[in-house]
Structure 1
Amino acid sequence: MMKKFILVLNLGSTTTKVALFRDLNCHIVKTYSHDKELISQDISAQKAARYDTVMMFLSEAGITPEDISIVASRGGLLHPVEGGTYLINDDMLLDLTSGKYGDHASNLSGILAAEFSKNHGIEAVITDPVVVDELCNEAKYTGLKNVKRTSIFHALNQKAAARKYADSVGQTYENLNLIVIHMGGGITVGAHHLGKVIDVNNGLNGDGPMSPTRAGSLPADGLLKYMAERNLSKNEMIHLISKAGGLLSHLNTEDVRDITADINNGNRHSAEVLEAMAFQIGKEIGAKAAVLRGQVDQIIFTGGVSYSNYVMDLITPYISFIAPVTIYPGEFEMEALAYGAYTVSNDRTLLKTYKAEGSHD
């Protein structure tokens, strides 16, 4: 039997989103923005403050842990897995806390869910983590034998937006060819072929278009020269590429609203940088159209940046010849996480088990 509420946790680079669902109906949802002092710290140093935020949310909502049936969490950086809903077990927690596959705020969602689970004896799960890997074999190759492309993208929201569009036209996700673009702090562009994301840029570690906080693809010679001239370590470069690149690097802000305000006040440099980002997004969409061999049913935009009419007006001329465009501003991750938890609560056969690489259990 389901108890009263599903607790949903979705931690991003700058925000903590928390919601309560009764079955599949959202009871309350709130987004807490964090100051730069907190979000500039390592994720382990953010844990206590972020956990306190979750408990404050429950207190404000008048809900106790006894009212929660299951915790539905965003997935973090793990080894590649197939899509679906997974129990947060010891193997997963170890990989999230160690940062074995990378450090990102999304790791904190599972870490906090595990803490809540331990403290209150409530099961915790993740659904469609960012490392869902459905890439076709060709997409994994690079020009160096021992370097492979990896799948790290906004899997949860891309798939949620794709299913939302499919429902709106009376189709199933598995019968459509779609290009889905999530535009948030990072930007990922996915080629969805009959329900599988067969090609997508790694939106975290230097691949695809630049974004509000990420550098995107960089010329290898320029990157190596930049690193050598400044005597930067690997970790310092990773930070630059994944947290301090893109709009933030060029304009000292990642907030598109502030940038467009500057443009409206005549700042030509801000306009040029935003135009360059739009150019890169359009180019990436064109590449995904080639992967789908021109058979594209719809181009779908989602994520917070897609609220910006200014940005959308910059991108559209590059892509309007490919397919019609649908915009779903914001994200549907909370609903998708609640759905994953709800389905495994009602059908335990759908719950998957995460095993650490090398585990033979």
Structure 2
Amino acid sequence: MNEVIEKKYVLAINPGSTSTKIAVFENLEPQFVQNIAHHKKDLEKFKNINDQYEYRKKTILKTLLDRKFDITMLSAVVARGGLMKPIEGGVYTINQRMVDDLMAGVSGKHASNLAAVIAYGISWDLNLPSFVVDPPVIDEFTPLAKLTGMPEIKRRSMLHALNIRAVARRESEKMARNFDDLNLIVAHLGGGVSIAALERGKIVDGTNALYEGPLTPERAGTLPTGDLMELIFSGKYKTKEELYAKLVGKSGFNAYLNTNSAKEVGELYAQNNPTARLVFDGMAYQVAKFIAEMAAVLKGKVDAIIITGGMAFSKGLTDLIAERVSFISKVILHPGEDEMRALAEGCLRVLNGAETPKVYR
């Protein structure tokens, strides 16, 4: 007799600065995914991100109505985690303390902070549970991983935690192994790059996606401290904001070739453009170097190296990386990222009793 699988409908919410992405899943099957664009003139009416709450919530509900989806069918609402207090990885029930911290911006202001707030509001109205999954503020670093040569400065965990942990879980299932029993290195390659060491399910070390690691299509990555200090005091950059824009948006491929498109750089590479070959090969070289660094963190006991993110579609790039790191462990390609599915997966683990949600305190 075929087992009847109970249908569970999940609404996933992922806001960006000028849009809000939503998806409705029936179990893990997407019923629809929609990116709701917000007109600049509409957003300009609000003084800050928090003031956009009612506007974005109403827009989501109207979109569901236009899609003729009956919201009373929902089993839960799940949201991308925002910049709350640093917490360990997992699925968290959204509560008032989390909402208050996100509205206060305890770890920074970002559009993603509204995700859990909106999810909490919709779920409150419908008397449903609501969750966040592996927010970007996950902090499972060991004291050794946080240590620097200056007591005033500690390394911070800031990486693509949602995709890294989701991909690691999926590949663990393919290996017929328990995620919490494996040691994995996951390299997320996109506009930003995160390279993380997962020891028995926890991200115990990793590169900061904004300020560390390899050069990326638009970020500088790790820089020589002395030269950076000279640049800061050179007078070229008048404000902290100008330097930030340079390091995080106008560096990497952008600085060398005036484009942050990996596809365009790949085309120039194929045409034997010397600068394109240098930065493309250089990125692969640096990714491999940081993967090896994470292997040292795991004392060489690495069950697999997983390469994911949008740039993992580039066979040329992944071949260059694998050539340098395959001596450490097998290299698995898991190209692309699907944050909405990752949110639904986490939510359904809780709804199906496979995982107990954590409490945000």
TM-score tier by shorter-chain length is 0.7 to 0.9
Show the counterpart of 2:301: 295
Range with greater deviation from structure 2 (215-224 or 142-151): 215-224
Show the counterpart of 1:23: 27
- Give the 3-state SS of the residue equivalent to 1:350 in structure 2: coil
Which one of 70, 81, 96 corresponds to residue 76 of structure 2? 70
Range with greater deviation from structure 2 (212-221 or 166-175): 212-221
State the Cα RMSD in Å.
3.4
Q: Distance in 1 between matches of 2:182 and 2:175?
A: 11
Displacement after TM superposition at 1:320 (Å): 1.9
> Is the alpha carbon distance of 1:348 and 1:298 closer, same or farther for their aligned partners in structure 2, counting shifts above 3 Å?
closer
The answer to whether the 8 Å contact 1:43/1:105 transfers is no
Q: Distance in 2 between matches of 1:184 and 1:56?
A: 32
**Percent sequence identity over aligned pairs:** 38
Q: Is 2:85 aligned against 1:79?
A: yes
The answer to whether the 8 Å contact 1:162/1:173 transfers is yes
Q: Distance in 2 between matches of 1:52 and 1:251?
A: 42
Displacement after TM superposition at 1:32 (Å): 6.6
> Is the alpha carbon distance of 1:255 and 1:107 closer, same or farther for their aligned partners in structure 2, counting shifts above 3 Å?
farther
Show the counterpart of 1:359: none
Taking structure 1 as the reference length, the TM-score comes to: 0.83
> Is the alpha carbon distance of 1:96 and 1:234 closer, same or farther for their aligned partners in structure 2, counting shifts above 3 Å?
farther
Q: How does 1:1-361 map to 2 (within 5 A)?
A: 5-11=9-15, 16-30=20-34, 44=49, 54=60, 57-59=63-65, 61-114=67-120, 116-117=122-123, 123-204=129-210, 206-228=211-233, 229-345=235-351, 350-355=356-361
Range with greater deviation from structure 2 (76-85 or 249-258): 249-258
Q: Which amino acid is 1:10 matched to?
A: N
The answer to whether the 8 Å contact 1:201/1:208 transfers is yes
Structure with max Cα Rg: 2
- Give the 3-state SS of the residue equivalent to 1:10 in structure 2: strand
> Is the alpha carbon distance of 1:268 and 1:53 closer, same or farther for their aligned partners in structure 2, counting shifts above 3 Å?
farther
The answer to whether the 8 Å contact 2:84/2:107 transfers is yes
Displacement after TM superposition at 1:148 (Å): 0.8
Displacement after TM superposition at 1:90 (Å): 3.6
> Is the alpha carbon distance of 1:319 and 1:347 closer, same or farther for their aligned partners in structure 2, counting shifts above 3 Å?
closer
- Give the 3-state SS of the residue equivalent to 1:275 in structure 2: helix
Q: Distance in 2 between matches of 1:33 and 1:247?
A: 28
Displacement after TM superposition at 1:15 (Å): 7.1
> Is the alpha carbon distance of 1:150 and 1:244 closer, same or farther for their aligned partners in structure 2, counting shifts above 3 Å?
same
Range with greater deviation from structure 2 (323-332 or 239-248): 239-248
Displacement after TM superposition at 1:207 (Å): 1.3
Range with greater deviation from structure 2 (310-319 or 237-246): 237-246
Taking structure 2 as the reference length, the TM-score comes to: 0.83
- C-alpha offsets along residues 270-325 of structure 1, whole Å, 9 cap, x if unaligned? 23222222121111001011111222111101111111112212322221221111
- C-alpha offsets along residues 82-124 of structure 1, whole Å, 9 cap, x if unaligned? 2222233343234334443134454343354345456766543
Q: Which amino acid is 2:81 matched to?
A: G
> Is the alpha carbon distance of 1:168 and 1:349 closer, same or farther for their aligned partners in structure 2, counting shifts above 3 Å?
closer
Q: Which amino acid is 1:227 matched to?
A: I
- Give the 3-state SS of the residue equivalent to 2:49 in structure 1: helix
- C-alpha offsets along residues 37-75 of structure 1, whole Å, 9 cap, x if unaligned? 999xx9839958876874575356332444433221111
The answer to whether the 8 Å contact 2:49/2:111 transfers is no
> Is the alpha carbon distance of 1:4 and 1:235 closer, same or farther for their aligned partners in structure 2, counting shifts above 3 Å?
same
Range with greater deviation from structure 2 (117-126 or 194-203): 117-126
Give aligned pairs, total: 352
Displacement after TM superposition at 1:147 (Å): 1.0
- Give the unaligned 5+ runs of structure 2: 1-5
